[in-house]
Amino acid sequence: MSLLVVGSVAFDSIRTPHGQADEILGGAATYFSVAASWFAPVRVVAVVGEDFGDRHMRVFTDRSIDTAGVERAPGKTFRWRGEYKGDMNEAHTLETHLNVFEQFAPKVPSSYLESEYVFLGNIDPVLQLHDRQQLPRARLVALDSMNYWIAGKHAELLKALAAVDVLVVNDREAKMLSGNANLTRAAAAIRKMGPRILVVKRGEYGANLFTEDSVFSAPGLPLDEVQDPTGAGDTFAGGFMGHLAKTGDLSESNLRRAVIYGSVMASFAVEEFGLGKLLRLNPQLIGERFAEFKNLAHFDA
């Protein structure tokens, strides 16, 4: 089934203990859609500038990602410069130039209106709610957010949360949003705000899924080397939503598998700078890594 993502497209300049890269293609919508494209047909709503060339657009079209919703605006594409140090659990932002993204008013093309699976990337919650209301046929709508909106547009974010099915955030954001430092209580509070499904990303420690019936803990895959964590969260969301859109199955057991597919894709993302590895995957590699997660977490009663 069709999967729609609304979010940023950017050029990232990244430095990590393992190297650096300048002005490489990134952004939430980019990582999400490339990851999800291994599972289901993906449609993107985003904005790029005049400096966004054909070779950048081909990264999407080569993965059969529908770019009818990618608007080209006068000016430059969103740019982000960041650095990771030590254990690389946190990005230190050095420069942000929103450029054309500053005036981003997402336009959902008519050809996207039937989309059943929707991911509202981390943008202004007013826009997230507006987009959500344009998609009445959506069967599952997931939303990402961050500290900036949690603090600065709290009331607007609560309205958007009341209109979605899934919230995907990291553990610090879940604690901040709920005002509760205990993750179990934070999850219960957030589920009362609207999303019946909460996915909490915990970086190298894996991810948790909170639903009405249960809690699921997905492990983090121990990796020999993390090159670049940029985009791991959006890549996770892409694998998660991609698997759900592919299968159309929202059962508890399939939500758990979706969390693992999200973890699988994120584990590939961090092994190389930028989109590197995500563009060279195949179903067999994805299946083998899923099996690695199974072996990592399995024990007999």
Query: What residues line the site for its own copies (CB under 8 A)?
Result: 86-87, 181-185, 187, 202, 205-206, 208, 214-220, 222-226, 253, 256-257, 259-260, 290-291, 294-301
Shortest reach from residue 260's CB to its own copies, in Å = 6
Shortest reach from residue 224's CB to its own copies, in Å = 5
CB 255 within 8 A of CB 197: yes
DSSP class of residue 139 equals: S
CB 201 within 8 A of CB 173: no
Residue 113 or 297: which CB sits closer to its own copies? 297
Whole-number Å distance between alpha carbons of 227 and 16 = 7
| C-alpha closest to that of 60 among 79, 83, 42, 75 | 42
Residue 155 or 301: which CB sits closer to its own copies? 301
Q: Under 8 Å CB-to-CB from 127, ≥6 apart: which residues? A: 6, 104, 105, 106
Shortest reach from residue 296's CB to its own copies, in Å = 5
| C-alpha closest to that of 227 among 278, 262, 261 | 278
Residue 111 or 214: which CB sits closer to its own copies? 214
Shortest reach from residue 21's CB to its own copies, in Å = 20
Shortest reach from residue 199's CB to its own copies, in Å = 14
Half-sphere exposure of 29 (CA within 13 A, CB side): 31
Q: Which amino acid is at 118?
A: V
CB 108 within 8 A of CB 135: yes
Residue 98 or 216: which CB sits closer to its own copies? 216
Residue 134 or 217: which CB sits closer to its own copies? 217
